[in-house]
Structure 1
Amino acid sequence: MERKEITVEELLQRYAAGERDFSIVCLDYADLSGANLAGIDFSHARLRRANLSGAILCGANLSDTDLWRANLTGANLEAANIINTCIAGANLENTNLRGAIGVFGQANGTFLHNTVWSNGEIVVGPEWIDA
């Protein structure tokens, strides 16, 4: 699957104009910290080592998204679709996953601390997923 590389500026501009489908894009190393991207479709996208700290991703479609070593500290993924999302090596400290749909794919090495799971359970941690 070939992904289309776009810039953070292009993404934010298109999102502000009402576009939500950003499936199959490549945004490795992107700094989207604090961005409000509620309802965005990042299915099959690649955001390796992206900074999504404090980002609002409520209701986002993250199915089959590659978030390898991404920083999701303090991100809000409430009601997001996380089916088969790769979070290997990612930081989920203070991340809200309440009501998220599905289960992650690869998750080995993911850091959890005060992480709220989809069922509301809080992983106080700190701990790493070793799977």
Structure 2
Amino acid sequence: MVALLIRGGGCWRWGLCPKASTPQPPGRCWWKMMTDFTREEVIDIARKLLRADLRNIDLSDVELSYANLSGANLSGASLHEANLIEAHLPYANLSGANLSGANLSDANLWEANLWEANLCGADLSGARLYKANLNGADLRGANLNGANLNGADLSEAKYNADTTWPEGVDPVAAGAELVED
């Protein structure tokens, strides 16, 4: 059983799904409005998101602003165009995840594993990527303006002329590879 907290239609919903690694048909997940929960139940839900196993889950276009997914395993997950503004993702495993077009502005990705993640067109402006593993990540068209890349591993990361880097960052010196589209 996997616990999920999502926002849709202007309200928060809490869901329990049998298995997050495969898409679930309608009716297989149980959803409840957040206003129906007690304070203790909400705290319990938040704890379940920490270090959650969300491998290969499809969270495309989902509202996850300010979500605390610290240490979560999101390897292979699809977060295409997800809204992760100021999301808390330190130590999260996002290896091989599809974050194309996602909004990760001001997100905390300290020591996150983004190995071979697809970040094409993602907004990472102001993101904290301190000691993050971006080895082999696809950063074509990504906006990294104002991001903290101190100690980040950019070896073999791909970028293009549309990628915006923080002031003072030399992607070639950091081991990233310029690719032609």
Structure 2-normalised TM-score? 0.58
Gapped regions of structure 2 (runs ≥ 5): 1-44, 164-170, 177-181
Question: Are the aligned partners of 2:127 and 2:144 in contact in 1 as well (CA < 8 Å)?
Answer: no
Deviation at 1:124, TM superposition (A): 8.3
Code of the aligned partner of 1:67? L
1:13/1:50 Cα in 2 relative to 1: closer, same or farther (>3 Å)?
closer
Tell me if 1:65 matches 2:107: yes
Show the counterpart of 2:116. 74
Show the counterpart of 1:46. 88
**Distance in 2 of aligned mates of 1:33 and 1:13:** 9
Runs of 4+ in 1 over 2 A off after TM superposition: 4-10, 12-15, 117-127
Code of the aligned partner of 2:79? L
The share of aligned pairs that are identical, in percent, is 36
Q: How much is the aligned-residue C-alpha RMSD, in angstroms?
A: 2.7
Code of the aligned partner of 1:77? L
Tell me if 1:101 matches 2:143: yes
Once the two structures are superposed, what CA deviation does each residue of 1:44-77 show, in whole Å capped at 9, x if it has no partner? 1110000000000000000000000000000000
**Distance in 1 of aligned mates of 2:162 and 2:84:** 24
Code of the aligned partner of 2:156? N
Question: Are the aligned partners of 1:115 and 1:123 in contact in 2 as well (CA < 8 Å)?
Answer: no
Question: Are the aligned partners of 2:57 and 2:78 in contact in 1 as well (CA < 8 Å)?
Answer: no
Aligned positions, number: 121
Higher relative contact order (CA 8 A, sep 6+): 1
Tell me if 1:30 matches 2:83: no
